[in-house]
Structure 1
Amino acid sequence: MTIAFFSALPFEQTWFEPYRLNHRITYIAEALTPQTAWRARGHQAVCAFVNDDLSRPTLTLLNGMGVSVVGMRCTGLDNVDQEAMQALNMSLLHLPGYAPASVAELSVALLLALVRHLPEASQRVRSGNFAIDGLMGTTLHGKTVGVVGTGHIGQAFARCMQGFGCTVLAYDIRPNRKLLDTGVRYVALADLLAQADVVSLHCPLNDQTGHLINDRTLTLLKAGAVLVNTGRGRLVDTAAVLDALDAGKLGGYAADVYEGERAYFHYDFSAKPIPDTLLNRLRQHPKVLLTAHQGFLTDEAMRQIARGLLNQFSFYDNQQTALVTKASMC
């Protein structure tokens, strides 16, 4: 099968080539949009990433070029118009449960780094300043942690927090029995926000969860609570979060995502101006720790993505070949 990989990061080819088998892959650094879809011409499939545009206009263009299958090398599908795919008779391949520990562990790392002021502490030592005044941290042991969304990643994060000796509350429209058996208690979202010292977002982005954290829900938070977001940027109203930080209502914000990240994340802007005033305010805020969507970036996760997704492409290709063979024999 011929596959066009969009938003291909420089290191990805190293991971996908060992599992390529008979597939022919074209690695394209540009993101998939209606303007770049033409680059898939001559391919049977595309493989897209978290910030690619799989809206109806893009899918219609791909379909017109003979692309019949889309593979997603990310967990969430919020950037895919699945109704359009069904109408166009296109197939969707994805990996809903790959390496949940990789994202959960980054969530823990961001949380710890934020509450113990590790970036500032490291920067001081690098500059030769060994003073520790102003670096007073917070102990996680004994705190209440609220987990919003208890899919594979949320479950992994909850177990990590239990390992730290935290009480874990959870909110999900589908409570998980295994978590209940470990002592996790499911509560209403308002109760979770009111009781938790730390709130971590692991729910999918959809019409119900967009800007789940907003001006109104932020008022429900316990004063000084810390918010962690390694899910999707648009789960939070960024401006409202920044205002809550400035007002002292929110104690800190650790995130691996940003609602306007598509134009910036995974690209080097160190020598270029960044015109996004909201992003600039976020990345420069003293109570914010922001990374550029790297939760998936571990050896183990990349190996699972590469092997799992290319196996799905192979299975799809074999099925199509079998159908053609069967039809020719009739």
Structure 2
Amino acid sequence: MKYPAVLPFSDILPRLSEFDAIIDVRSPSEFAEDHVPGAINLPVLDDDERVRVGTLYKQTSAFEAKKLGAALIAKNIARHIEDGLLGHPQQWKPLVYCWRGGNRSGAMAHILARIGWPVTQLDGGYKEYRRHVNAELATLPVQFDFINVLCGPTGSGKSRLLQVLDQQGAQVIDLEQLAAHRGSVLGGLPEEEQPSQKAFESALWQQLRHFDPALPVFIESESKKVGRLRVPDALMEKMRAAACTDVQLDTAQRVQLLMQDYAHYVADPTGLNVQLALLTQLHGKEKIAHWQQLATAGRMAELVEELLVQHYDPVYRQSIARNFSRYAQATPLVLPDISEHAFEQAARALCAIVGDGKQ
């Protein structure tokens, strides 16, 4: 085969794991927004350099912009080779891509091929990859007939149960983990930003494409948005028509679980009070002031229980039956406590129930 080989994503996908490296040569900001799973960023133009070249193109001429771009790209490719690629053997197989047109990836791929590496260039670049992801997110969820939705009010342990199911080898989609958000006004994670919508969808696609449609898939009963991120329509529709498991845990245990999971708010009453203020329209200034006083006084268990009883549980009851058509027939799964043993036992019991076709 002549290198660089320029191939469409449909040809590359079946052997994506065969590449020794997936090299995204776009700028750091483009890469940060989203990239092919497993890719590394070796930009041939950084963000400032892209601006310089683009400005020169608009204000002077394409010729002057290309001269500057060529000089910068050559310098950056040389640095990447010297700093990180010299140790690779001749059989090292990289895949290279850029945004769409192929100029940036073509420059990198040409030089790597001239060195002697069997390099492949993604025809159509990231835009072609993104088109494929969009198409598959509309079709992949339809293939799964055995989706099981974990229902249950806030603090009932659904996320922990998903984690244990995953550890036991079950097929799990943890939307909150992928979205870096727990799905409520208090759901933001400390010191962790949510990914972009595109990165969220890439991570979801990466999971779905490796699942076996003949085996159950476990997922939590989420709303259409997790934080600011939207769950793809096809998956949402499949979830809402799926069999349900009703995870049950008594209120005292739920309070303890939430105080563990939201320890950052327990340690930061001021930050918690900022978030509580967002509920003013629903509960009024007097109620919010009361909850903020509890937080400031360190009476967290009391606050959490009131939030459950007066806010989260009523909201859950209003939405769950309306949005999940098979919730009325949900299989109950009672957790005696929040110990590791309890979740391990519950996960095994749930796999047995679903595997026996009792739902």
TM-score bucket (shorter structure): under 0.3
Structure with higher RCO (Cα < 8 A, 6+ apart):
2
TM-score normalised by length of structure 1: 0.23
